A and B are shown apart, each in its own frame.
Chain A
């Protein structure tokens, strides 16, 4: 009661504390984002003054087959990576939730790829899939299968990109799902067992529905982050052969920094922003309501 009367509850006092964070975000993300939006309606290059061209930049990329290929590749890789990764993450989370000896050590093993850089992961997977001497290549030929020709066949290249992406990010999905699984009360399972439920019924009726919010959150975040995919592709195939494994971020980079099509790059950039926000819309709406409920 008395606290509400104290001048220290005045929200203006909070300003100096939150302003540094907001200023950094404004300077590094917000203002550049708005500037990209403005630039996407202009023809310009580094060091040239921009000329208004309306939607010409957008028309240009939408008519560019390389853009569409990059978009298609991105969609394929993102869909594959996110869904397979979540399935694996769910499987590992349930395996661990069942109770294991040396749990801490084993969790450390599952988390290990989180410490690996994108460059390091590319070195590892490239080596294992080396067309001549790679360990996996030798296994595959030993089993009578055709090894991956990732540097020649575009789909093979994208497959390897997806594989190493899943490897690199599985720890994230695992932790989210594992923490969510641990927070399900044990009584629910005990009650179900008393009623004679099978393991499958427990999974369908208890685990899955109660994990759904965490699964959706993890999926959303992985969509947004997988969509940014750049380094893995850049370091593995460079977008080649013949620009066939480009993803949207690679397309943007090449247009801006190699082909000097700044307009096309800014239009691509703004399309990336819009799609990211569209993906996040459901989440942001829910969050907005929660925050207003909490803070006002």
Chain B
């Protein structure tokens, strides 16, 4: 009897413990984001005032002043969009080709080069900026979309290849062999058999590159100055004006930059998890 009751009590306590823990997890993950988005819709004067609770009237005034004062930011958004699309297309295309190669053929060279790919990905990106900076300048590529597209795509090609290989490995080889018997070339097998069946993998790779390229700071900071400046860089300039940060405008910019990719990540949750488990930690 008492044993039963103490067991029930422990169940209830464990349940409460889990609910409290979950509350903390949500506050931790979503709290900072919610705070900034709400602040973006709050009049600049009231953002930091203590006694504003109760009658919160959302306003668009921060977004209006962002539009009026920081045209640069919207150019930055357009640049980010171009760079993100370019890097994603390049990385997905190259990773799919390589994933097909590594999945369907075997040799010592292939094994060795796949290994080298993974090892190279572990090198810190900032190190490569040292020699690349003068080279990029020499080719007149500084401050162009091309240099960012190439850098972003390359730093995701090894992971992308491993993800694609994992997904293509799951397509039965009998399908290739049947096509081969019909005289199909490897390119035809890729186009008719593999491509229609590896969309999941391509989406997973695309998600990683999109989130990375849209948010990246270091390369944009080093390789762009004016024309190709991306949105995070413009935001960093807003923070940088130390004596006169217009917080409302900065929050509005953060919100505009964050929301599309946040919605995207939430919608593509399943692919994100699949992609990470399929090869993120392998490549």
Contact = CB atoms under 8 A, between A and B. Distances in A.
Interface of A: 3, 6, 8-11, 13-18, 20-22, 24-25, 27-30, 32-33, 35-36, 39, 46-47, 91-92, 95, 98, 100, 104, 106-128, 130, 132-133, 135, 138, 167, 170, 172, 175-176, 178-179, 217-218, 221, 224, 227-228, 230-231, 234-235, 249, 252-253, 256-257, 262, 265-266, 269-270, 272-273, 276-277, 280, 284, 287-288, 291-292, 294-296
B269 A36 contact: no
14 contacts: A3-B177, A16-B97, A16-B101, A17-B101, A21-B94, A21-B158, A95-B21, A108-B269, A117-B216, A119-B236, A120-B258, A176-B277, A235-B236, A273-B123
A122 B215 CA distance: 12
Interface of B is mostly: helix
A13 B126 contact: no
Interface in B99-148: 100-102, 104-111, 113-128, 130-135
Contacts of A179: 273, 276-277
A176 B276 contact: yes
A280 B130 CA distance: 23
B57 to A, nearest CB: 20
Given A25-B117, A113-B33, A46 B254 contact: no
Interface string B261-280: 11011100100110011001
Contacts of B18: 95, 98
B266 A112 contact: yes
A25 B118 CA distance: 10
Contacts of B211: 114-115
A270 B180 CA distance: 48
A269 B258 contact: no
Contact of A175 (B120, B131, B155, B273): B273
